[in-house]
């Protein structure tokens, strides 16, 4: 694709604005809808930037891979456009004020974080025949949930193995990193996290007074809980 992809991206963004203007210009929520798309576009670009500078900028240092930074990347890169944007658009089209739905926004953001953590887990431990690809987070030196957890739990020898092998494409290096993940029981830690976050989300959803919103959130959660791809 090359550099033409940059122009393609600009075209797509312009088309979003053109489509919104074409179909919603006369609606009372037009400006707020346009502002929402612009805001989410900015937040997503910021998330991509954080991901890129964490992964590719400066000297490679796994010590930078911490949970606070990871959650910040995921929140902006994934959660806003994947989970919050569709619901926020529906609310606006229904005449609602987004400022009245702060807790709903928080729930959707947390779902997005959970979704990305699942992605990171499946990249390493998922079945390529099921997910449709061979994961490359290790080879690509990605700031994934697994490496973040490993950096918190690894002993001195395991840390040495991670530093020597993470971000390298040879099969032996990838296998060495995966072996550390298994030694640290990251599969079980993920399952514990999944169970914990599911219970928290269910509890939060059940406390939502609006029945329609409860049902939407339940549909979202059902689609992603314990997914295999």
Q: List, run by run, the mean pLDDT of 10-residue segments along the chain (229 residues).
A: 89 96 97 97 96 82 95 98 98 96 97 98 96 95 98 98 96 98 99 98 97 97 97
In three-state secondary structure terms, 202 is helix
CB neighbourhood size of 64 (10 A) = 14
- Whether 162 and 171 have beta carbons less than 8 Å apart is answered as no
- Whether 147 and 122 have beta carbons less than 8 Å apart is answered as no
Q: Distance between CA 113 and CA 183 in Å, rounded?
A: 25
CB neighbourhood size of 140 (10 A) = 15
- pLDDT confidence of residue 1: 67
Contacts of residue 148, defined as CB under 8 A and 6 or more positions apart, other chains included, come to 65, 66, 67, 70
What are the CA-CA distances from residue 221 to residues 29, 85, 105, 200, 203 (Å)? Answer: 28, 16, 14, 11, 12
Query: 226: number of CA atoms within 13 Å, CB side?
Result: 7
Q: Distance between CA 175 and CA 152 in Å, rounded?
A: 20
SS3 content of the chain, % helix, strand, coil (to 5): 75, 0, 25
Q: Distance between CA 63 and CA 75 in Å, rounded?
A: 21
- pLDDT confidence of residue 60: 82
What are the CA-CA distances from residue 54 to residues 41, 50, 72 (Å)? Answer: 20, 6, 11
Sign of the torsion angle spanned by Cα atoms 163, 167, 172, 175: positive
* All domains in the chain, ordered by first residue: 4-224 (1.10.600.10)
Q: Distance between CA 49 and CA 77 in Å, rounded?
A: 9
Residue 8 tokens read as: 């393609």
Question: Would you give the distance in Å from CA 23 to the centre of its chain?
Answer: 30
């Amino acid at each position: 694709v090359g550099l033409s992809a940059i122009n393609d991206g600009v075209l797509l963004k312009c088309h979003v604005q053109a489509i919104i203007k074409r179909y919603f210009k006369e609606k009372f929520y037009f400006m707020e809808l346009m502002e929402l798309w612009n805001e989410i576009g900015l937040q997503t670009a910021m998330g991509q930037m954080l991901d890129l500078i964490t992964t590719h900028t400066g000297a490679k240092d796994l010590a930078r891979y911490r949970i606070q930074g990871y959650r910040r990347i995921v929140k902006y890169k994934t959660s806003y456009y994947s989970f919050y944007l569709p619901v926020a658009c529906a609310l606006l089209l229904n005449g609602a004020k987004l400022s009245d739905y702060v807790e709903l926004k928080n729930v959707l953001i947390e779902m997005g974080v959970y979704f990305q953590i699942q992605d990171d887990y499946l990249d390493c431990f998922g079945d390529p025949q099921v997910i449709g690809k061979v994961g490359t987070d290790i080879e690509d030196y990605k700031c994934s949930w697994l490496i973040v957890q490993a950096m918190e739990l690894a002993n001195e020898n395991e840390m040495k193995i991670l530093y020597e092998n993470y971000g390298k494409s040879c099969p032996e290096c990838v296998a060495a990193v995966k072996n550390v993940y298994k030694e640290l029981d990251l599969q079980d830690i993920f399952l514990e996290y999944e169970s914990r976050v599911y219970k928290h989300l269910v509890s939060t959803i059940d406390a939502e007074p609006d029945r329609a919103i409860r049902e939407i959130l339940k549909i979202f959660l059902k689609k992603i809980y314990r997914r295999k791809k």
